[in-house]
Chain A
């Protein structure tokens, strides 16, 4: 069994293991085609592989349109199907494949075992329901509590997310709270049933800088206290560097590189990762123009053949334009491990990258 293999190799059960997740969006027919139109479809995820240990903060990094949110949405099971269709792959959560699980089963996992925090709390909270009700309804549903017990629990949770005001907060409506408070309420909702996995989809992007820091610190504290794994979705490498244990870089629906944070930041193997890192604003480069990667992420309807990054890659050669680079395991240098050896690498040690040019050519910035 594939699952057992991983478990043996890592020494502990993987919390979340996504394998070859392949998702298309069927967008209907193009009316302008010669034979009455061809099918228009987008390919947002083209075989995602991602493994998360329990209690780990795992960042999924990429530019807008790279497939971060589609990945998150498919893990929590909220992809609208149709238009989305899962062509293949597995989402193993605590060893259990979520793909193909009936909706009634998935619903019991949502909010209870996998919870999600969204980007803009102002939009993602129901304006017409009291904050307390929005927390309590989950507790009643998932934890089988009475209303009274749920209320008491909700008060404890508010303390956990450092919201002062107890009952007054429970009685207020979202619009009566500030942006930071709203995000704390979102987080309170998400952690209320003590989930094992928290998906945070750019939870600080809509907040101002001082609040960002507070919220990130809160998320880390809660993670330590509640022992949850956090799948942190972000395009902000600065934030990612501050909070992650492991980082996976996603580009055009594929993970191009994944490693422990220290390793990824110190020794990036994929040219895209390197270019991303070089584009972080640094105090030492003050006054000089920011580095940017020319071009943009291909849209999911028109993925280039071969390595999807080749049109923007300074290293690209002919092979990159025709052959999809496999994801290989690397140890110290730039020499990929042979498959037999690669299988024995522990999750902690694992550093994978998918590029034809690793060890052959390198970028000097």
Chain B
């Protein structure tokens, strides 16, 4: 019951958020220079051609008319058709989403699998070899730009040793290198966070109580402290996942992957208004959904948080 009313309120908030974001983006893309009709018509089109295109895509109408027309369609889940490809925006997004989703999920899983155990180890054996290794890994991971890491991975594991395909999609093997490149960058941040959070929890008073009860060090650390120590990690990993679900432009570019990031980037280049608008709404929806799931997970882990 609690969860249901929580969900309803979140949906209400989501609608407001999406409305505000899409309104802002609607006007912003029309204010920034660049006319889609000019892009479509090409360099040497005549003034009549351009006017005809404008009339066809509806950008000749007053901006408020365009806005309310668009809003009315959105209310009926009609996001229009792409100006460049002529396909429905919904279809374009849904075609690309599975790739982005698998990339993001694999990326966050790789990030967590590396970061959490290493972070815990670093915290529990502070100033040990593991800790220095973890810190160095994290420092380097944060400093390396992901495009460079991606190119490096390609050179080593696709060109030098032909373990993985150089580009393209179609199999799990195609996803490995880009996910690793994405995951390592997430891991760098999550590792630091896990370590800091565990160190903090291990210094709390309830840890003294746990020890005074004669619990084994394993129980003290992995039952009592870890439970609390993972809370911030869950939040940040959730945000990272939501962020990646909007598409990973650079990694998609490096690995020539047809994901959402490149689709939206292309939309911006082409001043493809419906595609940009639809994309923004989609990203906002996905992000909110992930946040909602993270909040529920968080409230399960942290009894002090009552979802309201």
Residues in chain A within 8 A of chain B (CB atoms): 76, 78, 107-112, 115-116, 118, 120, 123-130, 137-138, 141-142, 173, 175, 186, 189
> In the complex, what residues of A have CB within 8 A of residue B216's CB?
107, 141
B204 within 8 A of A: yes
Report yes or no: B224 in contact with A173, Cβ–Cβ below 8 A.
Answer: no
Q: What separation, in Å, do the CA atoms of A186 and B303 have in the docked complex? A: 19
CB-CB nearest 3 A-B residue pairs: A111-B214, A110-B214, A111-B213
Chain B residue at minimal CB-CB distance from A109? B214
In this complex, the member of A127, A128, A141, A173 whose beta carbon has the largest number of chain B beta carbons within 10 angstroms is A128
Q: In the complex, what's the smallest C-beta–C-beta distance from A115 to chain B, in angstroms?
A: 7
Chain B residue at minimal CB-CB distance from A127? B304
Q: What separation, in Å, do the CA atoms of A186 and B210 have in the docked complex? A: 11
Q: In the complex, what's the smallest C-beta–C-beta distance from A133 to chain B, in angstroms?
A: 9
Q: In the complex, what's the smallest C-beta–C-beta distance from A125 to chain B, in angstroms?
A: 6
Q: What separation, in Å, do the CA atoms of A173 and B301 have in the docked complex? A: 12
Partner of A138, one of B204, B208, B213, B227: B213
> In the complex, what residues of A have CB within 8 A of residue B219's CB?
137, 141
Q: A123-B204, A126-B224 are in contact. Are A175 and B303 (CB under 8 A)?
A: yes
Q: What separation, in Å, do the CA atoms of A108 and B224 have in the docked complex? A: 18
Q: A123-B204, A128-B227, A173-B304 are in contact. Are A118 and B209 (CB under 8 A)?
A: yes
B interface, size bucket? 20 to 34
> In the complex, what residues of B have CB within 8 A of residue A141's CB?
213-216, 219
Q: What separation, in Å, do the CA atoms of A153 and B271 have in the docked complex? A: 71
Chain A residue at minimal CB-CB distance from B219? A137
Chain B residue at minimal CB-CB distance from A119? B205
Partner of A128, one of B211, B212, B215, B302: B302
> In the complex, what residues of B have CB within 8 A of residue A115's CB?
212-213
Report yes or no: B224 in contact with A138, Cβ–Cβ below 8 A.
Answer: no
> In the complex, what residues of A have CB within 8 A of residue B213's CB?
110-111, 115, 137-138, 141, 189
Given contacts A115-B213, A126-B210, A127-B303, 7 further A-B contacts (CB under 8 A): A110-B214, A126-B206, A126-B209, A128-B301, A129-B223, A130-B303, A173-B304
Q: What separation, in Å, do the CA atoms of A116 and B208 have in the docked complex? A: 10
Q: What separation, in Å, do the CA atoms of A130 and B210 have in the docked complex? A: 14
> In the complex, what residues of B have CB within 8 A of residue A108's CB?
214
Q: What separation, in Å, do the CA atoms of A186 and B215 have in the docked complex? A: 15
Q: In the complex, what's the smallest C-beta–C-beta distance from A134 to chain B, in angstroms?
A: 8
Report yes or no: B212 in contact with A110, Cβ–Cβ below 8 A.
Answer: yes
Q: What separation, in Å, do the CA atoms of A76 and B223 have in the docked complex? A: 21
Chain A residue at minimal CB-CB distance from B231? A128
In this complex, the member of B205, B214, B216 whose beta carbon has the largest number of chain A beta carbons within 10 angstroms is B214
> In the complex, what residues of A have CB within 8 A of residue B208's CB?
78, 118, 124
Partner of A142, one of B214, B224, B304: B214
> In the complex, what residues of B have CB within 8 A of residue A116's CB?
209, 212
Q: Mark B260-299, 1 if CB is under 8 A from A, else 0.
A: 0000000000000000000000000000000000000000
Q: What separation, in Å, do the CA atoms of A110 and B211 have in the docked complex? A: 8
Chain B residue at minimal CB-CB distance from A192? B213
> In the complex, what residues of A have CB within 8 A of residue B215's CB?
107, 111, 137-138, 141
> In the complex, what residues of B have CB within 8 A of residue A142's CB?
214
21 contacts between A and B (CB under 8 A): A76-B212, A107-B216, A108-B214, A111-B214, A118-B205, A118-B212, A123-B205, A123-B206, A124-B205, A126-B209, A126-B210, A127-B302, A128-B301, A129-B223, A129-B224, A137-B223, A138-B213, A173-B303, A173-B304, A175-B304, A189-B209
In this complex, the member of A109, A126, A129, A189 whose beta carbon has the largest number of chain B beta carbons within 10 angstroms is A126
Q: What separation, in Å, do the CA atoms of A108 and B216 have in the docked complex? A: 9
Q: What separation, in Å, do the CA atoms of A129 and B209 have in the docked complex? A: 13
Q: What separation, in Å, do the CA atoms of A123 and B201 have in the docked complex? A: 12
Q: What separation, in Å, do the CA atoms of A321 and B181 have in the docked complex? A: 70
In this complex, the member of B208, B209, B215 whose beta carbon has the largest number of chain A beta carbons within 10 angstroms is B209
Q: What separation, in Å, do the CA atoms of A84 and B10 have in the docked complex? A: 52
Q: What separation, in Å, do the CA atoms of A128 and B211 have in the docked complex? A: 16
Q: A123-B206, A126-B228 are in contact. Are A78 and B303 (CB under 8 A)?
A: no
Q: What separation, in Å, do the CA atoms of A175 and B302 have in the docked complex? A: 11
Partner of B206, one of A78, A124, A173: A124
Q: What separation, in Å, do the CA atoms of A236 and B210 have in the docked complex? A: 27
Q: In the complex, what's the smallest C-beta–C-beta distance from A185 to chain B, in angstroms?
A: 11
Chain A residue at minimal CB-CB distance from B216? A107
Q: What separation, in Å, do the CA atoms of A124 and B224 have in the docked complex? A: 12
Q: What separation, in Å, do the CA atoms of A116 and B304 have in the docked complex? A: 25
Report yes or no: B214 in contact with A107, Cβ–Cβ below 8 A.
Answer: yes
Q: In the complex, what's the smallest C-beta–C-beta distance from B296 to chain A, in angstroms?
A: 16
Q: In the complex, what's the smallest C-beta–C-beta distance from B34 to chain A, in angstroms?
A: 52
Q: What separation, in Å, do the CA atoms of A125 and B206 have in the docked complex? A: 5
Report yes or no: A124 in contact with B304, Cβ–Cβ below 8 A.
Answer: no
Q: What separation, in Å, do the CA atoms of A120 and B302 have in the docked complex? A: 21
Q: In the complex, what's the smallest C-beta–C-beta distance from B128 to chain A, in angstroms?
A: 15
Chain A residue at minimal CB-CB distance from B209? A124
